[in-house]
Chains A and B, each alone.
Chain A
Amino acid sequence: MSRIKQFKLPDLGEGLTEGEILQWLVKVGDHVELNQPIVEVETAKAAVEIPSPYIGVVTKLFFEPNTTVEVGAPIIEYDTDPTAGELPASPVETPAAAPASAEAPKREANLVGYGPRQGTATRRARKGGAPAPVVAAPAPAPVVAAPAPVVVAEPVAPVAAHVLAKPPVRKLAKDLGVSLAGLVGTGPQGSITREDVHAAVAAPAAAAPVRVVTTGGETRIPIKGVRKLTAANMVQSAFTAPHVTEFLTIDVTRGVKALDRLKAKREWRDVRISPLLLVMKAATAALKRHPMVNSSWDEAAQEIVVKDYVNLGIAAATPRGLIVPNIKDAGSLSFRELADALTTLVGTARDGKTSPADMTGGTFTITNVGVYGVDTGTPILPPGESAILAFGAIREQAWVHKGKVKPRQVTTLGLSFDHRIIDGELGSKFLADIGAFLEDPETALLGW
């Protein structure tokens, strides 16, 4: 028995492959009792405190907080007999880790329930034979500036004419925002399995020493989490759906005045009213007139799916990055209900509490770039949607109104659409309708 013991990160929740060190509750030199909490680790399932498996003095912490560590990697080292004087030169003994952690290197980065991936078990090493390929060499002092491997977005595979995947897997992929077209299937007949989908999502986890490293005037930020997902979505969308963008500059003075009148009403005094709300109403109204815009391209089924409901996505900048929660069935909401839904959506996003369900199933999206003072943009379609509207800043500009140049409230709309589904004519009519609504909402409401 060696007096030096290392503790490896165990599988904390039935099939997890990694965990993030949130904070150390002990430091080097501390005397630690059995079951004394030593570290807080967050996994995909929960944040938990790990109780110490040994009694002894901490001699080494292998990872800094906020580092993602693979299951099976040593995280802490103890001297279990610190009173015995100088350390003998005996080899470090690591505990017989839980069965799961010993198998860690062979695992796919997915949750339990589906077993190890089939057909890849070519390694024939005994349990406990080869050490786990941990992210940092355990021997030297704590890692300080391990070069973070830069993870690039997955290469976008050419769209396969026919992707094999079972319906639950398709749904899973859709829910997680993964394009089946970009995956290589490992199931029977090359079909895509749950594991493949999970692996595609979990890929950023491979960038293990997660930290910003600044060297020689360059800052290297690991691509992970929301950034990684956003990048994958954007690349996938940009290179699968041929985008066309059209612009329309309009005078929204009447629309803004209509909002002001509404604001002045007693029963609306507590409601947050913004021009975005008017754009949302305009979009849902215009989508009713042009249902083909509210559709998606199902490559696998070779079908265009036209939706009779509008799940209206609102692009939101949050501390976690860009997210696009959507308001379910926004087309059926009254103006007042829409206002409340927007307030809720913004509050939830700001608090970082937007659920995955809120972010899936969107059918049309509005990105309100005007809040940053820019005129408009050429937005990229969220995967699975056929059109997205950029709403620019409203500025007072010189505008010809009733034959005279007058200062008017003017804004520019930018509409990107999927040219596979939407021809120039349809896209133009749709955009013109939104413009007409914003210029004169009352007439549009009566006339449409």
Chain B
Amino acid sequence: MAEKAKAKAKTGSRSKTGGQPEYVQLLTPEGDRVEHPEYSVSFTDDELRSLYRDLVTVRRLDAEATALQRQGELGLWAGLLGQEAAQVGAGRALRPQDMAFPTYREHGVLYTRGIDPIMPFGLFRGVDQGAWDPNEFKFNMYTIVIGAQTLHAAGYAMGIQNDGAVGDDNGEAVIAFFGDGASSQGDVNESMVFAAAYNSPIVFFCQNNQYAISEPVARQTRVPLYQRAQGFGFPGIRVDGNDVLAVYAVTKAAMDNARRGNGPTMIEAYTYRMAPHTTSDDPTRYRQSAEVEEWKAKDPIARLGAYLNNQGLADETFLADVEKQAGVEAVSLRERVLSLPNPAPESMFDHVYAGGSHHLDAQRAEFVAYEATFEGGAH
């Protein structure tokens, strides 16, 4: 019941439980189901099991990507370890018509959109610039510039308003992902100004993973991040980002609110990045192992696993099968990453202008001729 009381007082800023933030929670770290007066989920047993499968698979693929980087097969990898629930919960709450604007870490959202996980690997392997069609997948390009995608998302949301695609239960909505670090960016704040002014159908989904690379969130803000929304004029809510059920419930409510024409919401998914910021980062230089241990106890997969187990929804066979299938997907991913084709050097001229230009044609021809002077030059 203590958990319930904590969850109830979601609008307060004071912490009542020894430094624990107040947030919407439906599943405790121990795997106990708790209720919330405003948010609820009613998943079937199969849906709960598939959520678990998504969490495990997303983590397994992430581990494979990290290994590939360490083996020299990727230039870089931004891992999501620890943030699986925030991403899977948010991703599963989206409907097919909704448009997502990711950062460079939303591999879990990408996966739950039903997209082949190989898609962003060309970018991280350096063989393409992220070559997918955002419209095809309703999933924008990975955006490396911190916070820039929130502006794109705010603009897109204004666009679907102009299209008249908002206003009922089947309306469209937009979700913009960003991190606690990006919340300090002008871009994010500007996009919130516009979203509020136009009452746009957008959800600002902030994964507060506690660190902007090495900068702890406490040094970036004096108020909990979700409270900033109030200043812009729309609701903000904090959710336990390691609780996939709560993240799903809160995101779904906010997206439905947006699609019905009721304007923006900011969600702060309170979570923790267990891995380095990217494979180029060494988190031991700026955070204590005790803190990491503390968050380990709040692991998003373990709690759902415990719940399934308690409810008799998962047995050894199921758990083993999930692991096995994730492993199969990981091996397949590895093989396909290793066989990604290298781009032809002259392809760098291809996508500068949609309609091409004679200047670029001349440069391409010159470059091809130059390439041909190399020993064994095939081009």
B230 nearest CB across to chain A (Å): 38
Minimum Cβ distance to chain A for residue B172 (Å): 37
B167 within 8 A of A: no
Q: Scoring A residues 359 to 397 as 1 if CB is less than 8 Å from chain B, else 0, what string do you get?
A: 000000000000000000000000000000000000000
A180 to chain B, nearest CB (A): 28
Q: B353 to chain A: which residues have CB within 8 Å?
A: none
Q: Are B70 and A13 in contact (CB under 8 A)?
A: no
Our pick among B70, B276, B281, B375 for the contact of A10 (Cβ within 8 Å) is: B70
Closest residue of chain A to B74 (Cβ to Cβ) is A98
Contact B375 A126 (CB under 8 A): yes
Contacts of B75 in A (CB 8 A): 11, 14, 98-100
B76 at the interface (CB under 8 A from A): yes
User: Which A residues are in CB contact (< 8 Å) with B69?
Assistant: 12
Chain A residue nearest to B330 in the complex (CB): A35
Distance of B43 from chain A, by nearest CB (Å)? 33
Which residue of A is nearest B370, CB measured?
A124
Q: Does A8 contact B (CB under 8 A)?
A: yes
CB of B70 within 8 A of CB of A51, answer: yes
Using Cβ atoms and an 8 Å threshold, which residues of chain A touch B376? 126
The docked-state distance in angstroms from the alpha carbon of A45 to that of B69 is 15
**Complex: chain B residue closest to A13, CB-CB:** B280
What residues on B are CB-neighbors of A51 within 8 Å? Answer: 67, 70-71
Q: Is the CB of B70 within 8 A of A50?
A: yes
B-side contacts of A45, CB under 8 Å: 280-282
Is A14 in contact with B76, judged by CB distance below 8 angstroms? yes
User: Which B residues are in CB contact (< 8 Å) with A95?
Assistant: 72
The answer to whether B72 and A8 touch across the interface, beta carbons within 8 angstroms, is yes
* Mask: chain A, 1-36; 1 = CB below 8 Å from B; 0 = not: 000000111111110000000000000000000010
Asked if A258 is at the interface of the complex by the 8 Å CB criterion, the answer is no
A13 contact set on B, CB distance < 8 A = 279-280
Residue contact B72 to A10, C-beta cutoff 8 Å:
yes
The answer to whether the Cβ of A53 comes within 8 Å of any Cβ in the partner chain is: yes
Nearest CB on B from A195, distance (A): 19
Residue of B nearest to A16 (CB): B280
Name the residue on A nearest B276 (C-beta): A46
A156 to chain B, nearest CB (A): 34
Question: Which residues of chain A have C-beta atoms less than 8 A from B282's C-beta?
Answer: 45-47
Minimum CB–CB distance from B61 to chain A (whole Å) comes to 13
Most-contacted residue by chain A among B71, B75, B126, B374 (CB, 10 A) = B71
List of B residues within 8 angstroms of A49 by Cβ: 70
A9 and B76 CA atoms in complex are apart in Å by 15
Chain B residue, CB-CB nearest to A36? B67
> How close is B121's CB to chain A, nearest CB, in angstroms?
13
Specify the main secondary structure of chain B where it touches its partner.
loop
Q: Encode B341-376 as 1/0 by CB contact (under 8 A) with A.
A: 010000000000000000000000000000001111
B342 contact set on A, CB distance < 8 A: 99
Q: Does B3 sit within 8 A of A, measured CB to CB?
A: no
A337, B186: Cα distance in complex, Å: 40
Distance between Cα atoms of A396 and B126 in the complex (Å): 71
Check B73 for interface membership: any CB of A closer than 8 A: yes
Does A97 lie at the interface of the complex (its beta carbon under 8 Å from any beta carbon of B)?
Answer: yes
Q: Is the CB of A101 closer than 8 A to any CB of chain B?
A: yes
A248 at the interface (CB under 8 A from B): no
Instruction: Out of B73, B74, B276, B374, name the residue touching A124 (CB < 8 Å).
Output: B374
**In the assembled complex, how far is the CB of residue A13 from the closest CB belonging to chain B, in whole angstroms?**
4
Q: Cα distance A47–B75 when bound, in Å?
A: 17
0/1 interface trace, chain A 86-113, chain B, CB 8 Å (1 if under): 0000000001011111000000000000
Give A124 to B371 CA distance when docked, in angstroms.
Answer: 10
A403 at the interface (CB under 8 A from B): no
- Given A126-B376, A129-B375, answer yes or no on A100-B280 (Cβ-Cβ < 8 Å): no
Asked whether A84 is an interface residue with its Cβ less than 8 Å from the other chain, the reply is: no
Q: Is the CB of A46 within 8 A of B280?
A: yes
Contact of A12 with B375 at beta-carbon distance under 8 Å, contacts A45-B280, A98-B75 already known: no
Kindly identify which residue among B63, B276, B280, B373 contacts A14, using a CB–CB cutoff of 8 Å: B280
The A332-347 residues at the B interface (CB cut-off 8 A) are: none
Residues of A within 8 A of B63 (CB): 35
User: Hey, which chain A residues are within 8 Å of B373, CB to CB?
Assistant: 124
CA distance in complex: A13, B66 (Å): 12
Interchain nearest-CB distance for B256 vs A (Å): 41
Specify which chain A residues have a CB less than 8 angstroms from the CB of B280 in the assembled complex. Answer: 12-14, 45-46
A35 contacts which chain B residues (CB < 8 A)? 63-64, 67
Nearest-Cβ distance from residue A422 to partner chain B, whole angstroms: 40
Distance (Å) between the CB of B211 and the closest chain A CB?
Answer: 15
Residue of B nearest to A72 (CB): B72
How far apart are the CA atoms of A125 and B126 in the complex, in Å? 21
On whether the beta carbons of B126 and A99 are closer than 8 Å, the reply is yes
Given A7-B71, A10-B71, does the pair A46, B375 have CB atoms closer than 8 Å? Answer: no
> Complex formed: what's the CA distance from A311 to B180 in Å?
36
CA distance A97 to B338 in the complex (A): 10
Q: When the two chains form their complex, are residues B72 and A100 in contact, meaning their CB atoms are under 8 A apart?
A: yes
A129–B374 Cα distance when bound, in Å, is 11
Given the complex of chains A and B, what is the CA–CA distance between A124 and B279 in angstroms? Answer: 31
A212 at the interface (CB under 8 A from B): no
> Bound state CA distance, A52 and B72, in angstroms?
11
Which residues of chain A are near B76, meaning CB under 8 Å? 14
Whether the Cβ atoms of A101 and B72 lie closer than 8 Å is: yes
A125 contacts across to B, CB distance below 8 A = 375
Contacts of B70 in A (CB 8 A): 10, 12, 48-51
For residue B64, which residue of chain A has the nearest CB?
A35
Cα(A8)–Cα(B377), bound, Å: 25
Residue positions of B touching A, CB distance < 8 A: 63-64, 67, 69-76, 126, 276, 279-282, 284, 342, 373-377
Q: Can you list 25 A-B contacts (CB < 8 A)?
A: A9-B72, A10-B70, A10-B72, A11-B72, A12-B69, A12-B70, A13-B279, A13-B280, A14-B76, A45-B280, A45-B281, A45-B282, A46-B281, A49-B70, A50-B70, A51-B67, A95-B72, A98-B74, A98-B75, A99-B75, A99-B126, A99-B342, A124-B373, A126-B375, A126-B377
Measuring CB to CB, which residues of chain A are less than 8 angstroms from any residue of chain B?
7-14, 35, 45-53, 95, 97-101, 124-126, 129
Contacts beyond the supplied A10-B70, A12-B279, A51-B70: 13 A-B pairs with Cβ under 8 Å:
A7-B71, A10-B71, A12-B69, A12-B280, A14-B76, A14-B280, A46-B280, A50-B70, A51-B67, A100-B75, A124-B373, A124-B374, A126-B374
